[in-house]
Amino acid sequence: MTTHSPKQFQQTCQAALLTPRGRGAVATIRVQGGTAALNALVNPCFHAVNQKPLIEQAVNQIVYGYWGTSNTEDLVLCRIDFETVDIHCHGGMAAVNRILNDLEAQGCDVLTWQALASRKATGLELEIQEALTAATTFRTAEILLCQSQGLLRSAFASLLPEEQSSFDSEHLKSQIQDLLRWKELGQHLTRPWNVVLAGRPNVGKSSLINAILGYERSIVFNEAGTTRDVLTATTALYGWPFQFSDTAGIRAEAEQLEAAGIQRAEQILNAADARVILIDISQPAHPDDHRLLTQWPESLIVAHKADLPECWGAPLPPQAIRISSVTKAGLDEFLQKLVEQLIPEVPDQETALPVTSRQIELLKQAAAALDADDQQAYTRLIKQLLTEV
């Protein structure tokens, strides 16, 4: 460890690890403080190849150098602004801990990234930043990044009534509805759409999920009642996060343990964002098939095992998609229809949308206040939307 005597004014500096803990390619540590304090904090530890002290490094310029005086660590540093420095080092925790320990020994406070962000960000900005960290695909992260760059704050601020103009409740209500039309997509930027597969035992639900994922996450076995619990797997389709749930085969006659799995499957189906009913067209139609199709009429229907001779013996539902999990025939068409059903419209980069349940609930309450012609309650809710978390 590099040790130096802590100095009084360096107590104004704070550091936090921005990237997740654990092994990775690169880790990022952010350090904030006054310009002079940052310079005094970093210079004893960081030695730039260009031999300039931190205070002389240009803002937004990547600077290569090494950390420490013995057992040095190669890394790069960048001044984000005059009071913020990002240190990019090897992603292993040994390097991260060494740098954080050195900074702490210099008198720097080591915080969580949330605590560091809260020193500059408002409640709303911090809320969006936390949502951004929960994004699991580049596409969802890009939308959240646009929201975090002032887009959502501006949209919420425009909902505040102007003091010197008339209170136009209809216009404000229209603005709120424009935001709320994206509420489903906004909440799914940080959690996947839940797609539940249902069908009779041995209809091929596990095989279909394996075909979608490209590897065997689910157990495939040629015996009715193999899946007695709900198995889940997450993937991305067209850049959107999806969780597929493989449920117990549903049939009228089942032994006690299997029946418990079926009951659980039906509960999951009721809560799903999308339901997929599989029918095995290599077997004759069964009353349980018709019961499922009738019970969930809005489901996507998969006519499965299309690579085998068809023995269904009845007209297929007109919207059914013939799929073979063996040959992958029909799989692309099915996935495209699934995405179109759940995400019929995609916002452009200039579209503001709420990204948390808190924001959605406050917008709904604000709309209700407009309906009740309660201007005072409406204004309070919009201010709460902008400032409180």
Same domain membership, residue 229 and residue 331: yes
The kind and range of the H/E element at 130 are helix 123-133
Instruction: Specify whether the CB–CB gap between 281 and 309 falls below 8 A.
Output: no
278 in a structural domain: yes
Whole-number pLDDT of residue 352: 98
Same domain membership, residue 356 and residue 327: no
Q: What is the CATH number of the domain that holds 16?
A: 3.30.1360.120
Domain edge (last residue) among 118, 136, 154? 118
- Percent helix, strand, coil in the chain, to 5, is 40, 20, 40
Domain edge (last residue) among 118, 145, 166? 118
331 in a structural domain: yes
Whole-number pLDDT of residue 8: 41
188 in a structural domain: no
3 in a structural domain: no
Of 171, 120, 133, 127, the C-alpha closest to 152 is: 127
Helix (H, G, I), strand (E, B) or coil at 294: helix
Long-range contacts of 357-362 (CB under 8 A, 24+ apart): 357/187, 358/127, 358/389, 359/127, 359/186, 359/385, 360/180, 360/183, 360/186, 360/187
Same domain membership, residue 259 and residue 158: no
User: Which amino acid is residue 26, in one-letter code?
Assistant: V
296 in a structural domain: yes
Same domain membership, residue 134 and residue 57: no
The total number of structural domains in the chain stands at: 3
Same domain membership, residue 337 and residue 205: yes
Residue by residue, pLDDT tens for the chain (389 residues) are 444 444 444 458 999 998 888 777 899 999 999 999 999 999 999 999 999 999 999 999 999 999 998 888 899 999 999 999 999 999 889 999 999 999 999 999 999 988 888 777 778 988 998 899 889 999 999 999 999 999 999 999 999 987 766 788 999 999 999 999 999 999 999 999 999 999 998 899 989 999 998 865 444 334 444 444 557 889 999 999 999 988 765 544 544 444 455 566 677 788 899 999 999 999 999 999 998 899 889 999 999 999 999 999 999 999 999 999 999 999 999 999 999 999 999 999 999 999 999 999 999 999 999 999 999 999 999 999 998 76
114 in a structural domain: yes
Same domain membership, residue 112 and residue 20: yes
Full DSSP string of 20-57: PSSS-SEEEEEEE--HHHHHHHHTTTEEETT---GGGS
60 in a structural domain: yes
Same domain membership, residue 114 and residue 128: no
**236 bridge partner residues:** 241
Helix (H, G, I), strand (E, B) or coil at 366: helix
In our burial notation (b when 16+ CB lie closer than 10 A, e otherwise), range 224-247 reads: ebbbbebbbbebebeebbbbbbbb
Instruction: Specify whether the CB–CB gap between 302 and 312 falls below 8 A.
Output: no
Same domain membership, residue 301 and residue 200: yes
Whole-number pLDDT of residue 350: 96
d(CA 64, CA 331): 48
Q: What is the CATH number of the domain that holds 222?
A: 3.40.50.300
d(CA 54, CA 200): 67
147 in a structural domain: yes
Domain edge (last residue) among 99, 118, 137? 118
Same domain membership, residue 197 and residue 113: no
**Residue in the block written with tokens 């709420």:** 354
Full DSSP string of 137-167: SHHHHHHHHHIIIIIHHHHHHTTSPPTTS--
Same domain membership, residue 301 and residue 229: yes
d(CA 184, CA 186): 5
Domain of 145 in residue numbering reads as 123-182+348-387
Same domain membership, residue 366 and residue 308: no
Pairing of strands 109-111, 84-90: unpaired
81: exposed, middle or buried (C-beta count within 10 Å: 0-12, 13-18, 19+)? exposed
Single pTM value for the model = 0.76
Same domain membership, residue 281 and residue 228: yes
